[in-house]
Structure 1
Amino acid sequence: MEFLSETAIIAGVAIMTGGWIISTWLRMKNGYPLENSWGKALYPKTTEAQERVSLLTQENAALRAEVGAMKDRLGNVERIVTDSGYHLTQEIGRLSDSTEVN
């Protein structure tokens, strides 16, 4: 008889815990704020936080565009520097500088 009551208690605790886990999962999945034991929201959704996220998202997009433009410019500079004509111009300039010194 005692074994049956212990099993019933364990089963009851397991069912209640499972219900709490499922309830919390459904709240998170559907975007409801989680609550503490007193019913207060743990992570209240405020408009201030949403505005900050929006501003940061816009700033992030602008910075990504700027980095993309800088990559393009750097690619052009690398192409110019590695171009054989650039080396030839440098050598001619070096030769003309050395002849002027002598």
Structure 2
Amino acid sequence: MFDFGFIYALIPIAPFAVGGLAIWTTHKRKTLQLELDIAKARAMERPPVNDRLEERVRTLERIITDGRSRDDLSQQIEDLRTKQLS
């Protein structure tokens, strides 16, 4: 048969367990909220843009989509190279 004396011994401990659980859940909720705020702040930050690289990519996209001859394309690439060196 089951001994109910053990259950009666746990009754005085129950308020402490419930209080500890309440404190832990409050702490956990605050921690998760702070992590969420940090993640939102990081998402709002824009990574630094390398303007020179962005300009080169735009130029290459324009050259590729342009319907010009192969010689003209070679000249434009050489112009980019000399511009990069200066």
TM-score normalized by structure 2? Answer: 0.47
TM-score normalized by structure 1? Answer: 0.40
